[in-house]
Amino acid sequence: MRIERARGTRDFLPEEMRKRRIMEERMRAIAERWGYEEIRTPTFERAELFTLKSGQEILKEMYEFADKSGRHLALRPEITASVIRMYLNELKMAPKPTKWYYFGNCFRYEEPQKGRFREFWQFGTEIIGSDSPEAQAELIALAFAMLTALDVQAELHVGHVGLIRELLRAATPLNEEQHAIVMRLIDKGERAAVIELMEDVGVEQSLIDDLLYLIELKGEDTLQEARDRGVIAAKSAALSELQALLELLAVYRVAYTLNLGIARGLDYYTGMVFEIYEVGGKLGAQNQVCGGGSYRLAKLFGGEDIPSTGFAFGFDRLAEIFERAEGDVRQGGVVVVPIGDKNVDRAITSAAIEMASRLREYVPTHIDLMNRSLKAQLKYANARNDLFAVMIGANELQAGVVTLRDLVTGSQEQLSVDACVEHLRARFESRLNDKNST
């Protein structure tokens, strides 16, 4: 019986993993240089961690289950809630702000399509203790530093849910729960449903019009226009915060599009929100590679009200773009080939294993595991793109040497064991340096 993968999951072959590792290392190095430290939280959590803010509805979009003791658990659909839980459990006395990053898999019960999976990876950062425009600008600039390192062309859209919320609060018949529903509908671009809901609960037509006008605003000059029309209050705290952020983004030289229609799918955002979209057209409909913003979750989890700001990259979407930008060829290594019948001559086998062990301190090294002939071993090495073969037979053993064959040129020479190890170490070290400097 052939067993298929679970729907929405993927297998990653070595070539894909090599590429992902390169990406991850680049992103990690940047996060560290910007002063963020890596953390890791559990893959599953108490389901209430996610339902506390979003209500039971969110369960439909999660993998949730009862464990053998009847605890209600869920595979994490994202990592921010876990990070704040962990912060409150472990570190709430730490000097603020705390700057963390993480890389981990997340699970969402969604309809799989190109760029949308049921298991996917996020690379994210959180600043716990600040949602100032300075913190917001630093995070957005950090996200762009990572995109530059991955050679991904992308476009930033910045909004502020505070502006939408200020308006919704003025729409008196709506309660908090309905605010959340409206935000989700805005996030999904379901304009007609927004109108219907507001009409149903008796919101004044002028307020509905104001909301529709606000969420369609794009471009910086429209902020003033919205203020003039009274859609944004003259003393709006959200507006001054947003303006301060936009000034700082200019200092960081990050180009942006103001887009007040960004509401974000998650309920915890309280201030600035942003999304980054790939612009090369490689991702199709699912072109949002990053999302984030300012939020308050700590109070909900029993802590004090700690302002925070963060973002998460959809790592798989970046990987899809990176793949096309960078073809990574597997680097071959060395094969140690014992010549002769291993069962007859144990000394040759021992010498080959010892040689392989020494080389493995420096170089990717293979040794036959299938009891194959010399010819078959070299053929396999060729298929693997190995660059050198170190051959050890009765003659070499007697003379205290090994035969080093360059598998690319076919030339070969006899060297002492030490000289051979040194030669290969130097060869691979220089290759590694070349690779790192590109």
**What is d(CA 375, CA 394) in angstroms, rounded to the nearest whole number?**
17
**What is d(CA 304, CA 128) in angstroms, rounded to the nearest whole number?**
12
Query: From residue 21 to residue 40, what is the string marking binding to ligand HAM with x (rule CB under 6 A)?
Result: --------------------
Strands 365-367 and 334-338: parallel
Instruction: Report in angstroms how near the CB of residue 375 gets to ligand HAM at its nearest.
Output: 47
**What is d(CA 355, CA 420) in angstroms, rounded to the nearest whole number?**
9
108 near ligand HAM, judged by CB under 6 A: yes
Could you tell me where the beta strands, DSSP code E, fall in 231-369? 257-258, 269-278, 288-296, 307-314, 334-338, 365-367
243 near ligand HAM, judged by CB under 6 A: no
144 near ligand HAM, judged by CB under 6 A: no
Name which of 37 and 110 has its Cβ closer to ligand HAM. 110
Instruction: Report in angstroms how near the CB of residue 140 gets to ligand HAM at its nearest.
Output: 12
Amino acid (1-letter code) at residue 289:
V
97 near ligand HAM, judged by CB under 6 A: no
80 near ligand HAM, judged by CB under 6 A: yes
Considering only 102, 103, 123, 311, the residue that binds ligand HAM (CB under 6 A) is 311
Instruction: Report in angstroms how near the CB of residue 415 gets to ligand HAM at its nearest.
Output: 51
282 near ligand HAM, judged by CB under 6 A: no
User: Half-sphere exposure of 297 toward its Cβ, with a 13 Å CA cutoff?
Assistant: 30
Residue nearest to ligand HAM (CB): 314
Considering only 120, 274, 388, 428, the residue that binds ligand HAM (CB under 6 A) is 120
Neighbours of 383 (CB within 10 A): 9
Considering only 97, 104, 124, 338, the residue that binds ligand HAM (CB under 6 A) is 124
287 near ligand HAM, judged by CB under 6 A: no
Considering only 129, 271, 314, 333, the residue that binds ligand HAM (CB under 6 A) is 314
288 near ligand HAM, judged by CB under 6 A: yes
Both tokens assigned to 314 = 């959809």
Amino acid (1-letter code) at residue 103:
F
8 Å CB contact between 348 and 339: yes
- With CB under 6 A as the contact rule, which of the stretches 40-48, 122-130, 353-361, 427-435 interacts with ligand HAM? 122-130
Considering only 289, 321, 390, 404, the residue that binds ligand HAM (CB under 6 A) is 289
Both tokens assigned to 413 = 């020479």
**What is d(CA 368, CA 337) in angstroms, rounded to the nearest whole number?**
7
368 near ligand HAM, judged by CB under 6 A: no
**What is d(CA 416, CA 422) in angstroms, rounded to the nearest whole number?**
10
Residues in the chain: 438
- With CB under 6 A as the contact rule, which of the stretches 121-129, 194-202, 328-336, 368-376 interacts with ligand HAM? 121-129
> Which residue in 435, 386, 158 sits closest to 293, CA to CA?
158
Query: Could you tell me which residues come within 8 angstroms of residue 4 by beta carbon, excluding any fewer than 6 positions away?
Result: none
292 near ligand HAM, judged by CB under 6 A: yes
Both tokens assigned to 400 = 């205290």
**What is d(CA 25, CA 48) in angstroms, rounded to the nearest whole number?**
33
Considering only 74, 75, 123, 126, the residue that binds ligand HAM (CB under 6 A) is 126
Name which of 265 and 340 has its Cβ closer to ligand HAM. 265
**What is d(CA 130, CA 255) in angstroms, rounded to the nearest whole number?**
23
Considering only 97, 159, 307, 310, the residue that binds ligand HAM (CB under 6 A) is 310
> Which residue in 126, 179, 421 sits closest to 293, CA to CA?
126
Looking at residues 256 to 275 of the shown chain, list those that interact with ligand HAM (rule: CB under 6 A). Answer: 265-266
Binding site for ligand HAM (CB under 6 A): 78, 80, 108, 110, 116-117, 120, 122, 124, 126, 265-266, 288-293, 295, 310-312, 314, 316-317
